[in-house]
Amino acid sequence: MGSKPVMWNVLVTNAFLFLLLFSLFSSVTASVTYDEKAIIINGQRRILMSGSIHYPRSTPEMWPDLIQKAKDGGLDVIQTYVFWNGHEPSPGNYYFQGRYDLVGFIKLVKQAGLYVHLRIGPYVCAEWNFGGFPVWLKYIPGMVFRSDNEPFKAAMQKFTNKIVDMMKAERLFESQGGPIIMSQIENEYGPVEYELGDSAKAYAKWAAEMAVGLGTGVPWIMCKEDDAPDPIINTCNDFYCDWFSPNKAYKPKMWTENWTGWYTEFGGPVPHRPAEDVAFSVAKFIQKGGSFVNYYMYHGGTNFGRTAGGPFIATSYDYDAPIDEYGLLRQPKWGHLRDLHKAIKLCEHALVSANPTVTKLGSNQEAHVFQSKSGACAAFLANYDSNSFATVSFRNTKYNLPPWSISILPDCKNTVFNTARIGSQSAQMKMTPASVGVGGFSWQSYNEETASVEDSSFTVAGLLEQINVTRDSTDYLWYMTTVQIGPNEIFLKNGQLPVLTVMSAGHALHVFINGQLSGTAYGSLENPKLTFSGSVPLRAGINKISLLSLSVGLPNVGIHYETWNAGVLGPVTLKGLNEGRRDLSWQKWSYKIGLKGEALSLHTLSGSSSVEWVEGSQMARKQPLTWYKAIFNAPAGNEPLAVDMNSMGKGQIWINGQSIGRYWPAYKASGTCGGCSYAGTYTSTKCQSNCGEASQRWYHLPRSWLKPTGNLLVLFEEWGGNPTGISLVSRTVQSVCADIFEGQPTQTGWEMKASGKVQGTLRPKAHLWCAPGQKISSIKFASYGTPQGMCGSFQEGNCHAHKSYDAFEKRCIGQQLCSITIAPEVFGGDPCPSTRKKLSVEAVCK
């Protein structure tokens, strides 16, 4: 009897200890860890699909929708860099508002139930101005970027600390119950280390230790950094990463940048990456045991203001991403990847529990099988041949594999997805004129006079480096000097004008002689340097030479890119004078930073009302150095808007005081364009468009920057474009297409299979849906048989069911969406019984 209370005490104490231990244990498991297979969250190994959305490349008003679309697209994680130069515009002066509201962005991701991968960097590359570094950083005495250099390390540590502390204070790390499951320090430092050797290695080690020392409770990764020290995970960035293995057997195989397309540069064509190839690359990675894939970019967005890097990176950072620059779905890419994610998730259990066994199925075909001890089995059947179909036999069943494709079998039996068979619809987008009030834009102009010596801020002997002078506060720097021409110069009589040659380190240059534009020269991303050489109309007496030198975004990548120069560094020479050649490089040069209109803030309402504008017939047209403004009303509706700048040359554009970015439609894209096959190794120049046309014609104007009436659009034109050609357009779905093979696995089919509702073969369906508010108004094309071509340009083949249109016309017209089963009886019978058929349909949305 007497021992009972003691027993009870022991029991209570044990239970208490157990609870304590349990809660300790569970709080440990609530943090994020990893093993050789995967990232482990709450004790679970996870196959994670992630997508990059850079918060300053869209507006806060767009964020919830972008995040929701990412979630609907089957993503688990949103990845973003942190943009130091946006957050610390001057030393110690921080900014986290508006598009730079990092905490707000992360909280929205959390609200949507997704995780965050935070790439603090703080070097980010990203085609972002100066790779994310504030320009003032360069001017800290003794500074050497991204190296074992005390001033750099101190500044980097301070900013990294600042961000980590902010995240901790807001309890945003997963270890605190927040959404951040991983962070990144540095960015692709491996290639730099390779070039620079030991001192770079010391820096990488320091960066790693500094990051780990911050105690975030979640793993750190370093991308493209083969010697990332433990516990940091080294990861892969590339178009394909199946070849990659982490540097230790106990780290998971992760892919931080699967490039969904590529960036556009002014002067370059627009790159596209076929959805089939993106899906193929992902399946190939997963079948080799990969467990984390991030799409760079999932939404690329816009380089607003002067945030584009390069130099010469375009304002659009669309990237051919699954969500387009405007926030609309890019179809079929978004849908095809969503279907891929669903297929992979059906395999998740087998993938995280087993290592793949690989069997050859043919000379260029393989099976990767994940068979878990508990009986789960998932198989990936791959055909690497980029030209031929393959019929393979796997576990006594025949499977037909299109070229360059992988089929996914979540039960090792039924194909639910093939990377080259798109079940999702594709969409053709269009830019439709949008109304800004009666008669379109009504423009007024203001002349930015050519600066001359009298306007200068200072004068020195010789030519100065541009960024040292402007500190990148503006794209514009005037270099001004005078040239005395004697009355006896022979050219004054024979009319053979002297030739002025100006060598510049970049990026663009307008040459004015006595106030008149005499010519323009510019470099490119590959070679920002330029030489202007042209005859100039000098006259007897004193001549004013004014060179307007422009930067077009600071470099964001390259060994010690912070030391790269811009501006007129010379020599500057005149040839064809009586004396022969005159070198102007070392004479007195006067400088003026920025434009008069910039100093007056002409882009704002108050600034623009401080000067007299000219309108009507007096208005400047096709004049260089001209400011234009127009007041307009917002078009009805909520479709995304863009400004069509095709009639313009080069400059910058603002709406209600906000900078939309640099425009440069006069820079035509040179390169190779044309159709491209999804099959075969992709490179960034494989599939391009816009050759011979503007690299970028349309400029995104976020809806949230507009008021219903009285919006102020301002632009500064450097070259002499014609503003009357500018128009506002809205971006909408023009038509939607389905292009589906008989017997092809489709989403609905395998959803039903996965739920156990259906066994055996399912007939695929074509799904068509227009945007909310739109309806299918007509069927532009429909053919069940052997149609050819692509969405927008389908053609009938030799075999065509005569009732191909009927089913669609009956069931789709007047609807926002419709689904039609692909089977002979639906189209009035089989038009060619022994041939493999497909259905191609294009429906117009209105």
Catalytic residue among 257, 366, 598, 717: 257
CB nearer ligand GAL, residue 298 or residue 805:
298
CB nearer ligand GAL, residue 123 or residue 380:
123
CB nearer ligand GAL, residue 257 or residue 339:
257
Q: Phi and psi (nearest 5°) for 40? A: -115, 120
What token pair was written down for 703? 């809806």
Q: C-beta of 128: minimal distance to ligand GAL in Å?
A: 8
Q: C-beta of 263: minimal distance to ligand GAL in Å?
A: 5
3-state secondary structure of 112: coil
- Binding flag, residue 320, ligand GAL (CB under 6 A): no
Q: C-beta of 534: minimal distance to ligand GAL in Å?
A: 36
What token pair was written down for 211? 């990051």
Q: C-beta of 685: minimal distance to ligand GAL in Å?
A: 14
Q: 591 near 480, Cβ under 8 Å?
A: yes
Q: How far is CA 496 from the centre of its chain?
A: 50
Q: C-beta of 62: minimal distance to ligand GAL in Å?
A: 21
- Binding flag, residue 278, ligand GAL (CB under 6 A): no
What token pair was written down for 626? 């001209």
DSSP one-letter string for 45-103: EE-EEEEEE-GGGS-TTTHHHHHHHHHHTT-SEEEEE--HHHH-SBTTB---SGGG-HH
DSSP state of 501: E
Any idea what the Cα angle at residue 273 is, between residues 224 and 283, rounded to 5°? Answer: 65
CB nearer ligand GAL, residue 242 or residue 257:
257
Is 257 an active-site residue?
Answer: yes
Q: C-beta of 187: minimal distance to ligand GAL in Å?
A: 5
CB nearer ligand GAL, residue 257 or residue 472:
257
Q: 630 near 713, Cβ under 8 Å?
A: yes
- Binding flag, residue 125, ligand GAL (CB under 6 A): yes
- Binding flag, residue 307, ligand GAL (CB under 6 A): no
Q: x/- binding map, residues 105-124, to ligand GAL, per CB under 6 A?
A: -------------------x
Q: 299 near 328, Cβ under 8 Å?
A: no
Out of 85, 184, 237, 590, which residue is the one contacting ligand GAL (CB under 6 A)?
A: 237
Q: C-beta of 88: minimal distance to ligand GAL in Å?
A: 19
Query: Per this entry, what is the length of the chain?
Result: 846
C-alpha–C-alpha distance, residues 823 and 565, integer Å: 64
3-state secondary structure of 155: helix
DSSP one-letter string for 721-773: --GGG-EEEEEEEEEEEEEEETT---HHHHHHHHTTS--S----EEEEEPPTT
CB nearer ligand GAL, residue 292 or residue 476:
292
Residues 238-257 binding ligand GAL (CB under 6 A) are 257
Catalytic residue among 36, 170, 188, 742: 188
- Binding flag, residue 428, ligand GAL (CB under 6 A): no
Q: Phi and psi (nearest 5°) for 733? A: -80, 125
C-alpha–C-alpha distance, residues 203 and 196, integer Å: 11
Stretch of 125-133, 407-415, 511-519, 734-742 lying at the interface with ligand GAL (CB under 6 A): 125-133
- Binding flag, residue 127, ligand GAL (CB under 6 A): yes
Cis peptide before 231 (omega within 30 of 0): yes
Question: Taking CB positions, which residue lies at the least distance from ligand GAL?
Answer: 125
Is 598 an active-site residue?
Answer: no
- Binding flag, residue 263, ligand GAL (CB under 6 A): yes
C-alpha–C-alpha distance, residues 719 and 651, integer Å: 8
At 607, which helix (H) or strand (E)?
helix 605-608
CB nearer ligand GAL, residue 127 or residue 148:
127
Q: x/- binding map, residues 150-189, to ligand GAL, per CB under 6 A?
A: -------------------------------------xx-
Q: 36 near 251, Cβ under 8 Å?
A: yes
- Binding flag, residue 126, ligand GAL (CB under 6 A): yes
CB nearer ligand GAL, residue 237 or residue 307:
237
Task: Look at phi and psi of residue 506 and say left if phi exceeds 0, alpha if psi is from -120 to 50, else beta.
Answer: left
- Binding flag, residue 643, ligand GAL (CB under 6 A): no
CB nearer ligand GAL, residue 278 or residue 434:
278
Q: Phi and psi (nearest 5°) for 651? A: 170, -150
Torsion sign (Cα): 535, 536, 540, 546: negative
| Count of chain residues binding ligand GAL (CB under 6 A) | 9
Which residues are known catalytic residues?
Answer: 188, 257
Q: What does the binding site for ligand GAL look like in residue numbers (CB under 6 A)?
A: 124-127, 187-188, 237, 257, 263
